[in-house]
Structure 1
Amino acid sequence: MLINGFQPNWIQSPGKVINQFILLSNIDLKSISKGDLELLEKIKTEKEKININNIDTLSKIFGGSDEFWLNLQYQYDEHVERFSHKKIDPNFNEFKNIVSELKSEKWLPLTDLNYLDQINLKAFYGISEFQALESKTIVSNVLGSKLKTIGKYSVSDLNLATYIRKVELEARKQFGLSNVNWNKDRLLLKLGEIKELTNSRNILDTLPELINILNQCGVALVFAPTLSKTPICGLAKFLENGTAVIALTPKYNRDYVFWQTLFHEIGHLILHESEMIFCDEDDKQEGKASIETEADLFMFNTLLYPIDHEDLENYVDLRLIRRSKLEGWKEICKKARELNISASLLTGILKRMSLIPYSYYSDRHQNIL
């Protein structure tokens, strides 16, 4: 059998090769007998190996010589054996939960071999195959000393660094080969367009347009769930290539939280233009840092323009809202139209500013997912 000397750090099972043959050859599975389909399924799930007893069936369906099919299985088995004896970093067990989470979200290839998981994870973090897998190094590389602390919850620095790395990679995909750079002036001009999008009832439908507007300003927008022990609603970061990224999470799964967090993070980029990473937990933190208060005020005043947030208490008839939920909702809808934002978002702002209880009009908010 022909086995060359090249030893890659990846392998592809015969089952995956067969899947590719099916996709590329446009084979009609209905034309394959039940017994042959059962054989293909066993090979794909590695319940049966390719051998001299089934190669005729594979050649009949896909073509190829007996030697090709036997060599395919032989090479796979040989590489599995080789990888099973490869040295695993002493700290690899510390990363197993992260590997599982990244696999579940298709950020890492599926494999049952620890060595390949280790190689893929190092590639994900942007470190050499021969460099030690150490959480302190990864956290330092991704977060450095530029992370604004995020408060009272238990946070895993490694998980947070992993999430930020995911966000950075996704941001690269959005920009592709574009030479666009962070442009604060353009973003300031686009705030009205972004604000108008808050009237959409379906955020997922609005995301492509929102991403396009932000990309024009040199800002990537990533909407993705966090890993465990990273209880954040959003983050903002300037990247080394002269762009910026905002990540939003479905932590509370509410439309008004999405928009409040987005404009809060935009506020960080505009007001606090630096390389710091801004991570924000929720809307009820006590003892916020001054930069958080500034980002909140930016969010309020941008969304409530042309009124100042301090005038909201007099702008909306709060007594009517307390007296009659129905008439109060009509009042909120009327004022939301005047401000060109959704009634759900205005309701959320009233709650955020402690002008109405959080229990009011909960059924008027939209879920994101």
Structure 2
Amino acid sequence: MTEGAFEPDWFSRPGETVSSLMSRRGLSAMDLAERLGCGREKVRGLLTGLTAIDDDLANGLAEAVGGTPAFWRKRQATYERCLARAADSVPAETASHWLMQIPLSGMASSGWIERPPGRPQALRSCLAYFGVTGPDEWRRRYAEVAADVAFRTSPTFESSLGPLSAWLRQAEIEASMMSCATWDRDALEASLGRLRKLTLLREPSKFLPRLRSICAEAGVAVVVLRAPQGCRASGATRFVSPDRAMVVLSFRHLSEDHFWFTFFHEVGHLLLHGRSATFVDVEAAATDEREREANAFAATTLIPAARQGEMATLGARSQRVLRFAASVGISPGIVVGQMQHQALLGPANLNFLKRRYAWEDIDAALA
């Protein structure tokens, strides 16, 4: 480094510049992949930092989004230098403690990071993945997502934060790859009827693409992402930019009643609470007022308030549940789930009416 040269103590991925230029030009991830003559996975790697910008990619980016090949080569070199300096500044003991909290093996097997050959490279991979300069910044950023104080101070919080943060970060990356309109609260509210009708569809291949498309029209990127081991989240909501919201769903429990309640719970946060915070639906967390409001929103969206009293009289009689579900235009399994949640049914009653999902079908629906 020459005397007087400025070397920041932070770094940003070249992919952040690429993403900004994509937004400015109205390009989707698929548009960029087509311009670069590559697959979507390479674009994801570029945006996340997994794929380094070599000469060929520098030339392609100059044509696709602007800048010069020299600019992109310098951007990559600066990033690598700043990342290495950030890693070198983390004390070995601090790095070791942090990496023990991160689900490195699961992240690597899922393709979220490269499988690190050793601890120094693992540290660099995690700093790059989370976009932080060290464990303290990571903790400040992600500890705040668990807005529930009881969960934050529970004995399991520290061990849960690593998997939860990895899941949320990957969801942010996936959301950035999706094409969405600008956030429009009124459009989302107006789409509730169409979204509710999707609960009648049995196969993920039928309802997931439609659900994502309807939400994208309102500026909401819906990400379906299996949670890593140790992450107990069913769903989360946050704004990933001023004009884009994200709903991430883990399909925890793989049952329709749980999935649809979680989805409308997250939609409730968007409609009722807007940009106020990140909300993570973790079963062990105690509920605050906003969580109760989102629960009530989901419950009355699925079963209208005017029909809740009638639902309480159905009992464990499958034919009555089937008729009631048909009359309110919703899946019988969701009615069963709501009755169980309200202790109107035992947890083992009428579960045969619930539809169950398999990950191979979910993955195929998202392909």
TM-score, with normalisation over the residues of structure 2? 0.65
Query: Any conservation in 2 of the 1:316–1:335 contact (CA below 8 Å)?
Result: no
Percent identical pairs in the alignment equals: 21
Query: Any conservation in 1 of the 2:196–2:302 contact (CA below 8 Å)?
Result: yes
1:314 aligns with 2:316: no
Identify the residue that residue 141 of structure 2 maps to in structure 1: 141
Distance, in Å, in 2 between the alignment partners of 1:124 and 1:252 is: 28
Q: Which residue of 332, 346, 359 maps to 2:348?
A: 359
1:187, distance to aligned residue in structure 2 (A): 0.5
Query: Any conservation in 1 of the 2:148–2:286 contact (CA below 8 Å)?
Result: no
Taking a change above 3 Å as real, the CA distance of residues 149 and 167 of structure 1, as seen in their structure-2 partners, is farther
1:163 aligns with 2:167: yes
Q: Secondary structure at the match of 1:246?
A: strand
Distance, in Å, in 1 between the alignment partners of 2:225 and 2:162 is: 17
Q: Which residue of 119, 125, 135 maps to 2:124?
A: 119
Query: Any conservation in 2 of the 1:237–1:278 contact (CA below 8 Å)?
Result: yes
Identify the residue that residue 268 of structure 1 maps to in structure 2: 269
Distance, in Å, in 1 between the alignment partners of 2:142 and 2:286 is: 27
Identify the residue that residue 337 of structure 2 maps to in structure 1: 348
Q: Secondary structure at the match of 2:178?
A: helix
The code of the aligned residue for 1:303 comes to L
Taking a change above 3 Å as real, the CA distance of residues 255 and 123 of structure 1, as seen in their structure-2 partners, is same
Which residues of 2 match residues 236-275 of structure 1 at below 5 A?
Answer: 236-275=237-276
Query: RMSD of aligned C-alpha atoms?
Result: 2.8
Taking a change above 3 Å as real, the CA distance of residues 348 and 150 of structure 1, as seen in their structure-2 partners, is farther
Distance, in Å, in 1 between the alignment partners of 2:149 and 2:233 is: 11
Identify the residue that residue 319 of structure 2 maps to in structure 1: 330
1:105 aligns with 2:110: yes
Query: Any conservation in 2 of the 1:150–1:281 contact (CA below 8 Å)?
Result: no
Aligned length: 267
Query: Any conservation in 2 of the 1:88–1:115 contact (CA below 8 Å)?
Result: no
Distance, in Å, in 2 between the alignment partners of 1:270 and 1:169 is: 23
Query: Any conservation in 1 of the 2:148–2:288 contact (CA below 8 Å)?
Result: no
Taking a change above 3 Å as real, the CA distance of residues 286 and 95 of structure 1, as seen in their structure-2 partners, is closer
Q: Secondary structure at the match of 2:238?
A: strand
**1:152-207 CA distances to partner (integer Å, 9 max, x unpaired)?**
682322332222111111111113xx5x2221100011011110111122235421
- Unaligned ranges ≥5, structure 2: 1-83, 359-367
Distance, in Å, in 2 between the alignment partners of 1:145 and 1:256 is: 25
Query: Any conservation in 2 of the 1:139–1:158 contact (CA below 8 Å)?
Result: no
**1:235-293 CA distances to partner (integer Å, 9 max, x unpaired)?**
111223421111112322211100001101111111111331111223xx796322111
Which residues of 2 match residues 200-211 of structure 1 at below 5 A?
Answer: 200-211=201-212
- Unaligned ranges ≥5, structure 1: 1-82, 323-327
Which residues of 2 match residues 26-45 of structure 1 at below 5 A?
Answer: none
Query: Any conservation in 1 of the 2:311–2:339 contact (CA below 8 Å)?
Result: no
1:103, distance to aligned residue in structure 2 (A): 0.2
**1:120-166 CA distances to partner (integer Å, 9 max, x unpaired)?**
32221123xxx4x31x3112134547734464682322332222111
Distance, in Å, in 2 between the alignment partners of 1:123 and 1:289 is: 34
Identify the residue that residue 32 of structure 1 maps to in structure 2: none
Taking a change above 3 Å as real, the CA distance of residues 286 and 114 of structure 1, as seen in their structure-2 partners, is closer
Identify the residue that residue 229 of structure 1 maps to in structure 2: 230
**1:331-358 CA distances to partner (integer Å, 9 max, x unpaired)?**
1111111211111111111111221112
**1:280-322 CA distances to partner (integer Å, 9 max, x unpaired)?**
223xx796322111111111111123x43xx42335642xx34
The code of the aligned residue for 2:156 comes to S
The code of the aligned residue for 2:99 comes to F
Identify the residue that residue 13 of structure 2 maps to in structure 1: none
Distance, in Å, in 1 between the alignment partners of 2:177 and 2:295 is: 29
1:289 aligns with 2:293: no
Larger radius of gyration: 1
Which residues of 2 match residues 4-153 of structure 1 at below 5 A?
Answer: 89=90, 90=92, 91-93=94-96, 94-96=98-100, 97-127=102-132, 131=133, 133-134=134-135, 136-144=136-144, 147-149=147-149, 151=151
Query: Any conservation in 2 of the 1:181–1:217 contact (CA below 8 Å)?
Result: yes
Distance, in Å, in 1 between the alignment partners of 2:150 and 2:333 is: 27
Query: Any conservation in 1 of the 2:105–2:115 contact (CA below 8 Å)?
Result: no
Q: Secondary structure at the match of 2:233?
A: coil
Q: Secondary structure at the match of 2:246?
A: strand
Q: Secondary structure at the match of 2:177?
A: helix
Q: Secondary structure at the match of 1:233?
A: strand
Q: Secondary structure at the match of 1:225?
A: coil
1:154 aligns with 2:156: yes
